[in-house]
Structure 1
Amino acid sequence: MGPWLRNLLILAAFCYECRGEDSVIQPPGDVIATEGEQVTLDCQFDAVNTNDLYLFWYKHEVNGFPKFMLGRFSFGSTNATGYEERFDAHLDKDSKSVPLTIQRLQLSDSAVYYCALRPTVTTGDTTPLQKL
């Protein structure tokens, strides 16, 4: 086995060990609230690199598909169109949380909300080193 292939295998093993270490945890169960109230949905995360965080909230309505609502990052934030005014989340690196707050609840806010964390292990060039 050539030295470049040995190094590649060591790198692959290292990256395999990195996967699965980052995670999000949302409390199970329903949150019940009244129209006009404010509600906060919890999301805890565990990440190896807290200096490069990308956390997202999605809304999944019945018979629909998850829709991106907002993202909170180590360096800033973004809200999707329609989620600028009543929806907010604060990324707290110390408590490892990014709770979603919805103000002035409306009946149309009824949905399942998902918190997601972007993987911190990424790859660069994906072209094969050698054709098989």
Structure 2
Amino acid sequence: MEPWLRNLLILAAFCYECRGEDSVTQPPGDVIATEGEQVTLDCQFDTLDTSPYLFWYKQGANDFPKYMLRRVTFGSDNAIEFQRRFDAHLNLTTFKSASKSVPLTIQRLQLSDSAVYYCALKPTVTGNSETLYKNL
């Protein structure tokens, strides 16, 4: 094997483990819809993790964020109060430049759905990892 090729392969092996920062992007601004309609809230994310965990949270006025649902490559989970009208699909691609998303769809909108909705990529907070995901 040529010496320069051996150096190239070693460099590639080290770069495989190099990781950039994970990111989540939601479009700014309000979404306005009428009761009874269906609405989809967008969430784009970027991660090198091949099995990412994506979460949606709902925060009403003067309230704390409430866990709604979780999506992973091979599974999903909805909190009890968000099982009927709320859904999200994890869209992954094999191309690094293509976008990854987990749009949240709310069916048959109700006035009580008015809130701020957050999309998050695991880990959602920092702290003691032993207790952090205890309820998952």
Q: Secondary structure at the match of 1:65?
A: coil
Which residue does 1:98 correspond to in 2?
Answer: 102
Q: Deviations over 1:5-50 (max 9, x none)?
A: xxxxxxxxxxxx74x611100000000000000000000000012x
Moved over 6 A (4+): none
Q: Deviations over 1:52-107 (max 9, x none)?
A: 11000000000000000000001200000110110000000024000000000000
TM-score w.r.t. structure 2 length?
Answer: 0.72
Q: Which runs of 5+ in 2 are unaligned?
A: 1-17, 94-98, 124-128, 131-136
TM-score w.r.t. structure 1 length?
Answer: 0.74
Count of equivalent residues? 104
What percent identity do the matched residue pairs reach?
72
Q: Mean Cα displacement is larger for which, 91-100 or 24-33?
A: 91-100
- Write out aligned runs for 1:77-92 (5 A): 77-92=76-91
Q: Distance in 1 between the 2:108 and 2:122 partners?
A: 29
Q: Distance in 2 between the 1:23 and 1:85 partners?
A: 29
Q: Distance in 2 between the 1:75 and 1:32 partners?
A: 32
Which residue does 2:54 correspond to in 1?
Answer: 55
Aligned CA RMSD, in angstroms, stands at 2.1
